[in-house]
Amino acid sequence: MATWQLRRFTTPAVLATIRPAHLHSFLGPYRDYLAGRGVPWPDRPDDPFDQAALVAAFADPGDAMPSDLMNALYLVDESATEQSMDDLQVAARARGCRFGDAGADTPADVAVQVWLFDRGLLERRHAEAHAFRVRSFTSFQSTRARPAGLAADHRDRVAGLEAALDDWFEGHQRGRGCRLFVLPRGASTWFVLRHAEPFRREESLSGSLKLSSVGYRPLKYDVLVHAPEFGELRVNADTDRKKALYRDLFGGHLFGGADAFAGTAKYTLDPLRDAGPAALEADPDAGVHGVRLADVQLRHAGEPRLTEVLRSTDLFAVWAARGVGFPAGGHVAEASFEVRFGDAGKARRVVVRPPNVARYARDGDSEPFEGWLRRRGFVTRPLDGPDAGDGGDGDAADAAGGGR
């Protein structure tokens, strides 16, 4: 919730699609607040609300709107889509929820009913939808020959982890009340952390066109992925400080130690210079049917500093036509690849920036391409921890700072 902007609950036409009885139940706990905002309460459950009054109250919540109502409106508003409706109905029915007459519920109707039936279910589905849209990760690797796995009783440890996170959030002006969702996905485990951002106040116009202000704490979703087959924790967050915090706290609470993922030197782009075009050999069996080098950033030493950007649809083809190879000078700081996945007709871009950042055009591209990067030598495996002498399967590498 980067800004307070409801796309559906501030549209009279959408409010009209929600059955009055559902709105009565949904808004019932906030009847006094709504009365104070000029929203008359209907006489009977089947009587419609004054839609104009509701829109005015929702569009300009003011400082007095209860935080529970603000969160409820935001989550239901985000979930009131045709894309979400089928999934919500299947999940809620599996838990015993009974919806209205067959075929008569709108997406907003379904979202409200699921909230009333099981608030946690709607929150979890919303978190899942957010998690699987994330496409940029900073990776922290295990430095142990035998990486620690996710604790068998990790669900029992979530409350302690949330409390530790809340201590940090509260000390950094973000308040308490974070929520961690644990989402198994194949061999990996995804973690979605919902928390508040620092308090925000924005100017607005009230219904009487008077200058007013809206005060609220935006919601923020950060995502972590534990990939046991690679012995790493991938983090999507907006600051390096938060990424390091999550690495340490998740490691300490769920993986046996704050240093469980101490390695930050994951990626290397040396194969581009060392192996040339052979470094980009396809791997159809793994779903990577073609790779072209599209962009390269070369950073040169000296002052003032110089970053050289080379760009083409296929850089190695350009160099071959000119009878030259990969440039000998400069540190290879970033590379962009055009990758053809599976039977996709169009290539999709993947950006790799050492030491540990990768960005994907689609979330589903990360698994096949991570495997390809490892097989082609673009991934190092640092083994500099206490178990390094136990017969590890990778070469040692110096740790480097994580990028955003």
Reading the chain (404 residues) residue by residue, the pLDDT tens digits are: 444 556 666 677 777 878 899 899 999 999 999 999 889 999 998 899 998 888 888 876 666 778 788 778 878 888 888 878 888 888 898 988 888 666 678 888 898 999 899 988 888 888 887 777 778 899 999 988 788 899 999 999 999 999 999 999 999 988 888 999 998 888 899 999 989 887 766 665 555 556 666 666 677 889 999 999 888 999 999 899 999 999 999 999 999 999 999 988 899 999 999 999 999 999 999 899 999 999 999 999 999 999 999 999 999 999 999 999 999 999 999 999 999 998 778 999 999 999 999 999 887 788 889 999 999 999 986 544 444 333 333 332 333 333 33
- Both 297 and 361 in a single domain? yes
Q: Looking up tokens 């779903």, which residue turns up? A: 287
Q: What is the pLDDT of residue 374?
A: 92
The residue among 100, 131, 162 that closes a domain is: 131
In the beta sheet, which residues pair with residue 351?
336, 359
pTM of the predicted protein model: 0.70
Largest CA distance in the chain: 83
- Both 29 and 77 in a single domain? yes
In a domain, 389, yes or no: no
Q: Give yes or no for a cis peptide into 355 (omega within 30° of 0).
A: yes
In a domain, 265, yes or no: no
In a domain, 171, yes or no: yes
In a domain, 380, yes or no: no
Q: What is the pLDDT of residue 257?
A: 94
For the record, the structure tokens of 255 come out as 């993986």
Q: What is the pLDDT of residue 102?
A: 60
CB–CB of 397/351 below 8 Å? Answer: no
Between CA 367 and CA 20 the distance in angstroms is 46
187 is in which domain, residue-wise? 136-254
The residue among 66, 96, 131 that closes a domain is: 131
- Both 201 and 295 in a single domain? no
The CA-based angle 88-89-90, given to 5 degrees, is 95
- Both 247 and 278 in a single domain? no
CB–CB of 101/56 below 8 Å? Answer: no
In the beta sheet, which residues pair with residue 283?
288
- For the chain, the domain total comes to 3
